[in-house]
Amino acid sequence: MFFQRRIRHALLAFALFSSSQGLSAMEFTPLEPTTTQEITTIEILEKLRMLHFSSIPIDDALSSNLFDGYLKALDPNRSYLSQQDIAEFTEYRFKFDNMLKRGNLDAAFTMFNRYQQRYIDRVEKNIELLGNVENFTFDSDEELVIDRSEMPWLETEQEFDDLWRRTLKYQLLSLKLAGKSLEDSAEQLVRRYKNNLDRSVQIANEDVYQLFVNSLTSLYDPHTSYFSPRTSENFNISMSLSLEGIGAVLQREDEYTKIVRIVKGGPADKQGQLKAADRIVGVAQGADGEFKDVIGWRLDEVVDLIRGPKDSVVKLEVIPSDSDEGAREIVTITRNKVKLEDQDAQKKVVETVNANGDIVKVGVIQIPAFYIDFEALRNGDPEYKSTSRDVQNLLNEMIEQDNIEGLIIDLRGNGGGSLQEANALTGLFIEAGPTVQIRKASKRVLRQGKPIPTPFYDGPLVVMIDRLSASASEIFAGAIQDYKRGIIVGEQSFGKGTVQSLAPLESGQLKLTESKFYRISGESTQHRGVIPDIHFPVSLDHDKVGESALDAALPWDTIRPVRHYSYQIDEATIDAARIAHDQRITADPDFVFVERRFEAMKARAERKTLPLNEEKLQALRDADRQVMRDLENERRKAKGEELLSEEEIEEMVAAETEPVTPPSDEDEEEAEQPADFYLEEAARIMGDAFFKGTPQLADNKTASVSS
């Protein structure tokens, strides 16, 4: 039976190459699935059925969605496969479900092999076209469509030739506008395509299998995925804590490596230039190293380049999230480990003025992550480190030594961590009660919280969140909001309200979503996140960053609420503080700048095409830069600061392509830190809400609400 299936696969492969658009000069051996992969597929289906939070039947509907998802994974911009290819593949649309149940992977490998041959053919043709770079001119009124993911599949060879001629033209023009000669630009692109060609023939059946299975798991939710044996060690691709690197979480998006999150306290966070949704297109080793073009590279290959020994330098060439495809920035980072103390909660004291003009001292505790030293805890160390213990110590110090009258918990950029610590931290601000509900795939609901009444801080409390506050941060902020214990300010949070676990497999491992978080109000933190009581202007595009930006994210929903006390910060108090806040930021130069810059970024992101005329593309980029310079000068003028000089403007332009050197450790403490106007506004809100006249504490609990 197994031998017969191999014969059938060989015949399919022969048909594949007989119908191809011409055989490639590069030898390509069709890939085949292994018996182990067939067994693993059946095992994955069973674990998804038994353990995943969502119950999705393996039927024709799933098969059809898998067919579309796999095509998107293979050819996201519809640049290689033809309409004829898609027509031939259509016979599989409603067969994947039955094939999966038998562990039959023939169709998946047949589709990949066809794509791989098309890819090799096209890349070789591109290299040939770049050999005659003098044929490219940049004075016509042609345009390039940026996103073809929803456009029809191309039908003829002429249509493919025209698409790739325009693509190459744009790539050449972008490099030319960056200061390279046309010949050097062509040489760089030839190197890129030759590197991609070399890697394409090194792809193993393990890679194809992982791509196909993850097209299946992504139908369940974006956090369920399969790791092959080779990639299991790179679980979450997190270059932090145990790995020496830059401190960033990465993912593959189309042909790019995308920044998902910057780890607080890590080298990239300290350097300050990288942002979520930036895309890495080049990596160089050392201050003077030559860049390797990593467009089209596998994620693990890019990660291997970025990781390296402590104190070594890596340079990244990135497309900023707020720029178009042609913009580039060079980011220079010194590798290091994310030290435990860099993840520690930190304190400081700021002053604000209340309605009477009285100065109010406000304590601030910034929490980069919810951490706990489990090993020290297991060993019985009474001084084990944890978020809640550190916050309690810092809070006591500020009360006793600094005489603070209110507290801000700053969770901006906090991607989560220990659920135990999120509950323990909430317990520092409530007398007792539940903090979170966890609903299992079995629909059983578990509750966690503070079971025994103990002393707690009952003073004025404000919690700051942003789009990158996720998971455990959302549990804490949601509980404080549900208890009406404090005021939540900032942006709508990330919206990750799911819990994952690892399941070992015959080959590799499966990370799957097994449960879901719910607030004590009964509302899920999933997808929607925590909605602040008082909104700050959006700084990140929620269409690109956040759970709602991910395909197949589990929905927001509700379950039964839990009885809990209310500390009764009334809506009138919040409304009054919101009105005062809105009036302030309308005239505040920093907040006006943030809003207008975001509008400019959105306008860029909504472009559908880019000009291939040199003068027009240069004019478009100049206009984009001018918008940002004008916004900066408007902000400076409104604040009474000196406007940018022509020399500084030239330096800003140069900085887009030149390395930025971070300060040394010796310089870091002395370097002037920019004012945190978000934090200053949070302190003003506290003054509005809690200190209308003379300083006063928040009300203790006065009532209970039933479920």
Phi and psi at residue 673, to the nearest 5°: -90, 135
Query: What pLDDT was estimated at residue 122?
Result: 96
Query: What pLDDT was estimated at residue 25?
Result: 53
Nearest-CA neighbor of 529 among 480, 483, 473, 462?
A: 473
What residues contact residue 283 under an 8 Å CB cut-off, 6+ apart? Answer: 291, 292, 294, 302, 305, 306, 314, 315, 316, 317
Mean pLDDT of 605-618: 93
Q: How confident is the model at residue 342 (pLDDT cuts 50, 70, 90)?
A: low
Mean pLDDT of 675-682: 92
Query: What pLDDT was estimated at residue 662?
Result: 42
- Catalytic residue flag (residue 347): no
Active-site hit among 450, 496, 516, 701: 496
Query: What pLDDT was estimated at residue 68?
Result: 97
For the chain, domains (ranges, CATH) are 2-217 (no CATH), 225-334 (2.30.42.10), 344-498+520-588+681-705 (3.90.226.10)
Please say if the pLDDT value at position 23 is more than 70: no
Q: pLDDT digit string (tens) for 559-584? A: 999 998 888 788 888 999 999 999 99
Q: How confident is the model at residue 700 (pLDDT cuts 50, 70, 90)?
A: very low
Mean pLDDT of 24-31: 72
**Does residue 560 sit in helix, strand or coil?**
coil
Query: What pLDDT was estimated at residue 13?
Result: 40
Please say if the pLDDT value at position 557 is more than 60: yes
Q: How confident is the model at residue 304 (pLDDT cuts 50, 70, 90)?
A: confident
Active-site hit among 471, 493, 507, 524: 471
Active-site hit among 482, 533, 588, 590: 482
Mean pLDDT of 159-187: 94
Query: What pLDDT was estimated at residue 506?
Result: 86
Please say if the pLDDT value at position 235 is more than 60: no
CA distance 510 to 235: 10
> Does residue 261 contact residue 547 with C-beta atoms inside 8 Å?
no
The pairing of strands 509-518 and 498-504 is antiparallel
Query: What pLDDT was estimated at residue 244?
Result: 56
Q: pLDDT digit string (tens) for 388-441? A: 999 999 999 999 999 999 999 999 999 888 899 999 999 999 999 999 999 998
Please say if the pLDDT value at position 531 is more than 90: yes
Angle, CA 490 vertex, CA 487 and CA 494 arms, to 5°: 110
Query: Picking from 171-185, 191-205, 621-635, 641-655, which range would have the lowest pLDDT averaged per residue?
Result: 641-655
Query: What pLDDT was estimated at residue 170?
Result: 95
CA distance 367 to 560: 30
CA distance 219 to 416: 25
Q: How confident is the model at residue 321 (pLDDT cuts 50, 70, 90)?
A: confident
CA distance 108 to 30: 12
- Catalytic residue flag (residue 471): yes
Query: What pLDDT was estimated at residue 239?
Result: 33
CA distance 274 to 293: 18
Which of 79-88, 250-259, 642-651, 684-693 has the largest mean confidence?
79-88
The pairing of strands 461-465 and 406-410 is parallel
b/e 444-458 (16+ beta carbons within 10 angstroms → b) = eeeebbbeeeeebbb
Instruction: Give me the chain's average pLDDT, please.
Output: 85
How many of the other CB atoms lie within 10 Å of CB of 677? 16
Please say if the pLDDT value at position 627 is more than 70: yes
CA distance 292 to 368: 33
Burial of 172 (0-12, 13-18, 19+ CB in 10 A): buried
Share of the chain above pLDDT 90, in %: 58
Please say if the pLDDT value at position 695 is more than 80: no
Query: What pLDDT was estimated at residue 76?
Result: 94
Please say if the pLDDT value at position 479 is more than 60: yes
The CA radius of gyration of the chain, in Å to the nearest whole number, is 28
Complete DSSP assignment for 320-345 = -TTS-TT--EEEEEE-B---GGGGS-
Which helix (H) or strand (E) is 415 found in, with range? none
Tokens of 25: 């000069």
